[in-house]
Structure 1
Amino acid sequence: MARSGRISPDGTAGQTAARLIANVVVPFRVLLWRPEVDEDVEDISVAGLMKARRTTAVLTEGVVPMSGTLYETDFYAWANEQAALLRAGKLSLADIENIAEEIESMGRTEQRELESRLTVLLLHLLKWRFQPTHRGGSWEATIRVQRRDLARHIDRNPSLKPKIPDATSYAYENARIEASAETGFAEAIFPAECPWSFDQIMDGAFWPDQP
């Protein structure tokens, strides 16, 4: 079972996910891409992974992996053990099932970040529209930053684009609930469905001025 809870409170992926990419996912992809590498081949500039793989083959010789136990009790140690096994080409000793689940979990984390950032952005757009007397630099900065970060996130994960309509709908429902709690207005005050297109939501020149 994939471990959960690796997304930080502001909606960004945590350091553990980044470490997993560097230590497990990337070498795993390299291993599948080219299982045999000639010793004379130069460093292929994937952070020296292939060189590290040859070196680690010696370091892991005779080592019995403790994957099943480590995955549940010490994720950091598990990730490093799996990286060493994959770089050494010891695919048969790697914890393939849990590696696969972690990769899938990371994909779900990217979608959760999309939904989380959309929620924050839509919440502030609702407050901007329905509480004009409370508008200020803080709200404006949050809207601008979330638009920038969302654009960057989608640019880095283009396969998320087909999920934008569903993510926007889900995020708006959450934003509506939070807007009611933060403003003290009844939920019925806010539109039942998102009143703006995704293009409007992301448009730096768009500021909903009319209640």
Structure 2
Amino acid sequence: MTGGYDTDFNCWARETARLLREKRWHELDLEHLIEEVEDLGKSERRALSSQLERILIHLLKWQYQPQRRTDSWLDFSNDGRVQIYKILKDSPSLKTFPAIRLAEDYEDARRYAAKQTGLSIEKFPLDCPYSVEQILDDNWLPEA
């Protein structure tokens, strides 16, 4: 390979793709190729988790600061939902992932919502008050 994994990742990726297309298996950098394939799945899960947390922050702000509601809160929530739908469309095997991540992502969202609103963290429920179905429903918002 002309560009090594550690010296020029982009060149390594292009070269690896070429070697795969040409079925030159013996020349592949299998250790790094396996690592990168595994990281692809991690990246999708991280992106989904990040969007879930983002939606939760804005739903909490919507519910607990009704006097400060803005269209941007709706935009952030709706965009997060769209991004999750796109991830799930591309990777249907992640369909149950939001439910798996909900408790942990809610904990982080609760902390960030408290910081962003200036409200005490105790103001927000300890456990997520929303179901995954509600969180991902484009037409659902919590009441104040």
Q: What does residue 150 of structure 1 align with? A: 84
- Per the alignment, residue 92 of structure 1 pairs with 26
DSSP-derived class of the 2:6 partner = helix
Tell me, in whole angstroms, the C-alpha distance in 1 between the residues paired with 2:123 and 2:68: 17
| Match status 1:192 vs 2:129 | no
Alignment of 1:3-22 (within 5 A): none
Partner of 1:134: 68
Instruction: Identify which of 94, 111, 115 aligns with 2:49.
Output: 115
Alignment of 1:1-211 (within 5 A): 65-66=1-2, 70-210=4-144
Q: Secondary structure at the match of 2:44?
A: helix
Given the two structures, how large is their TM-score scaled by the length of structure 2?
A: 0.94
CA distance in 1, matches of 2:76, 2:140: 14
Identity %: 38
- Cα root mean square deviation, aligned: 1.3
Q: Which residue number corresponds to residue 61 of structure 1?
A: none
Instruction: For residue 163 of structure 1, report the CA deviation from its aligned partner.
Output: 2.1
Unaligned segments of structure 1, at least 5 residues = 1-64
Contact kept? 1:119, 1:174, Cα under 8 Å: yes
Match of 1:50 in 2: none
| Offset at residue 105 of structure 1 (A) | 0.2
Q: Secondary structure at the match of 2:130?
A: coil
Runs ≥4 residues deviating over 4 A? none
Q: CA deviation at 1:142?
A: 1.2
- Residue type of the alignment partner of 2:28: A
Q: Which amino acid aligns with 1:90?
A: R
For residue 46 of structure 2, give the secondary structure of its aligned residue in structure 1. helix
Q: Structure 1 length as normaliser, TM-score?
A: 0.65
Structure 2: state its 5+ residue gaps: none
- How many residues are aligned here? 144
User: Which has the higher relative contact order, 1 or 2, with Cα contacts under 8 A spaced 6 or more apart?
Assistant: 2
